């Protein structure tokens, strides 16, 4: 947000292309080896971690080599006047990712989240503090590039500082094959995630101006902030809890029901708030040069709300070692990009590209629910009912925005947006049987004084 205010829209648009390149050509994070350390029963062993480090490093080297090879064509594609140096410098990022210490992920098996939190939050805090002086020193897209490299260096160093074990490389062929069996669908899914997160932006970058791309990227960044935070916290909390009961089918299904209802409640809070306050949020976050772009944020918020709902079946599937659930659902999400491409070639308004993303998320959610039902015997209606009710509430928020709610005083808009989000989320929880039962249980424990048992 700071950089969007400090840089020209065209420079911010060029900077958005860096994220596209990393999304498609960086492999180590796609394999989710850290999650496999949590899910696998042997993930705590030093031999397992040494092999995981080796596989991660090889993935980082592969990503770095591909970025170097693609640097010149990418510079020509995005109109950087043949200057491939920015993309060549990006090759450092997957290499540094491959050198991160996985022990901070292993600790999550024991519900120790402080090391992984610090290794994620500290570098982000540093580059946030550095954003303004960096933009003054390098007043164009180079500021974003420098901050990305700085963040990668700090993340790698911090992961080693917070680790409880020494960093070791090793190779156990049986473990390596298990890591690859778990990771290859996620790598394939990572390419699909390029279509999910960056495919729309890639189409905008190819068929519209860099100014249009800047608005689309800024709205996308704002839309993904809450979902990114949720994506960092939710799997870390729920994957160990779901994995521990993966062999107890009745208890697994009941816990999933509670999870999907809670996730949908958060999606409602997020979607209603962001859609109603879209225009005001864009002005506050990015300044007056982004006035009139709230409709982009609203459509991207719909898509992200649906993506948040998909976290529930995805985590449940991973707890059962089904890393293909995300891959299949994202394949159908990406397939809608073909329609977005047709719209872009016809020079339709940019917001229609964002709307296609929301349509793709509807299809992807349905596929994810159905696969979880067929493979793991979780009734698909347990997913469909809370998701449908949540999207109905989000639809009413979209209708209010379309009727001109955003034209009111910004203070009134933001106040009503937040209150409406909270109210709709509470109504959603009240309407869900498992959430309602858990809420009454908490109330009863507060009333009787049993809440003291919550703390050891």
Q: What is the largest CA-CA distance in the chain?
A: 71
Model pLDDT, residue 417: 94
Cα separation, 245 vs 253, whole angstroms: 10
> Using CB atoms within 10 A of its CB, is residue 307 exposed (0-12), middle (13-18) or buried (19+)?
buried
- 391 touches 424 (CB < 8 A): no
* pLDDT higher than threshold 50 for residue 456: no
3-state secondary structure of 408: coil
Each domain of the chain, given as residue ranges in start order, spans 1-190, 208-436
3-state secondary structure of 42: coil
Model pLDDT, residue 194: 66
- Neighbour count for residue 206 (Cβ, 10 Å): 13
* pLDDT higher than threshold 80 for residue 111: no
pLDDT, averaged across the chain: 82
Identity of the highest mean pLDDT range in 3-12, 76-85, 106-115, 402-411? 402-411
In whole angstroms, how far apart are CA 383 and each of 186, 250, 314? 23, 16, 12
* pLDDT higher than threshold 70 for residue 81: no
* Position 332 confidence tier, pLDDT thresholds 50, 70, 90: confident
Model pLDDT, residue 276: 94
In whole angstroms, how far apart are CA 127 and each of 3, 122, 151? 11, 9, 6
- 320 touches 375 (CB < 8 A): yes
- 310 touches 368 (CB < 8 A): yes
Identity of the highest mean pLDDT range in 10-19, 65-74, 241-250? 65-74
Residue 249 phi/psi, 5-degree rounding, is -60, -50
Among 165-174, 231-240, 271-280, 442-451, which stretch is predicted with the lowest mean pLDDT?
A: 442-451
Residues 6+ apart with CB under 8 A from 73: none
* pLDDT higher than threshold 70 for residue 453: no
Q: What HEC string does 210-252 produce?
A: HHHHHHHHHHHHHHHHHHHHHHHHHHHHHHHHHHHCCCCHHHH
Cα separation, 262 vs 427, whole angstroms: 12
- 264 touches 387 (CB < 8 A): yes
Cα separation, 50 vs 58, whole angstroms: 13
């Amino acid at each position: 947000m700071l950089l969007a205010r400090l840089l020209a829209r065209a420079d911010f648009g060029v900077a958005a292309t860096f994220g596209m390149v990393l999304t498609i050509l960086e492999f180590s994070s796609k394999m989710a080896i850290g999650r496999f350390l949590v899910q696998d029963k042997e993930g705590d062993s030093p031999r397992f971690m040494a092999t995981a480090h080796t596989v991660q490093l090889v993935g980082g080297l592969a990503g770095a080599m591909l970025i170097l090879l693609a640097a010149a064509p990418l510079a020509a594609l995005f109109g950087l006047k043949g200057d491939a140096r920015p993309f060549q410098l990006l090759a450092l990022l997957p290499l540094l990712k491959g050198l991160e210490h996985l022990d901070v992920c292993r600790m999550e098996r024991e519900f120790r989240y402080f090391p992984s939190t610090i290794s994620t939050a500290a570098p982000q805090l540093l580059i946030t503090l550095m954003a303004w002086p960096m933009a003054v020193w390098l007043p164009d897209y180079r500021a974003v590039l420098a901050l990305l490299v700085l963040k990668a260096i700090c993340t790698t160093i911090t992961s080693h500082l917070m680790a409880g074990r020494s960093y070791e490389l090793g190779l156990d062929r049986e473990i390596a094959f298990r890591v690859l069996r778990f990771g290859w669908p996620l790598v394939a899914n990572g390419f699909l995630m390029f279509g999910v997160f960056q495919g729309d932006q890639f189409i905008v970058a190819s068929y519209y101006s860099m100014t249009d791309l800047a608005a689309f990227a800024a709205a996308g960044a704002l839309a993904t902030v809450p979902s990114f935070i949720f994506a960092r916290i939710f799997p870390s909390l729920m994957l160990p809890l779901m994995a521990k009961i993966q062999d107890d089918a009745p208890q697994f299904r009941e816990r999933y029901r509670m999870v999907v209802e809670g996730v949908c409640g958060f999606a409602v809070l997020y979607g209603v708030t962001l859609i109603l306050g879209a225009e005001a949020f864009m002005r506050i976050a990015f300044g007056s040069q982004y006035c009139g772009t709230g409709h982009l944020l609203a459509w991207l918020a719909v898509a992200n709300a649906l993506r948040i709902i998909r976290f529930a079946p995805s985590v449940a599937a991973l707890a059962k070692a089904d890393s293909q659930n995300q891959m299949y659902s994202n394949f159908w999400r990406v397939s809608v990009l073909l329609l977005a491409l047709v719209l872009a070639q016809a020079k339709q308004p940019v917001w229609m590209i964002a709307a296609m993303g929301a349509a793709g998320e509807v299809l992807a959610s349905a596929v994810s629910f159905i696969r979880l039902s067929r493979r793991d015997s979780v009734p698909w209606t347990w997913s469909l009912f809370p998701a449908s009710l949540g999207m109905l509430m989000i639809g009413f928020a979209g209708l209010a925005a379309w009727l001109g709610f955003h034209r009111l005083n910004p203070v009134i808009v933001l106040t009503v947006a937040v209150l409406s989000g909270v109210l709709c989320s509470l109504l959603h929880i009240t309407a869900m049987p498992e959430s309602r039962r858990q809420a009454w249980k908490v109330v009863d424990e507060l009333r009787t004084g049993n809440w003291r048992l919550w703390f050891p």
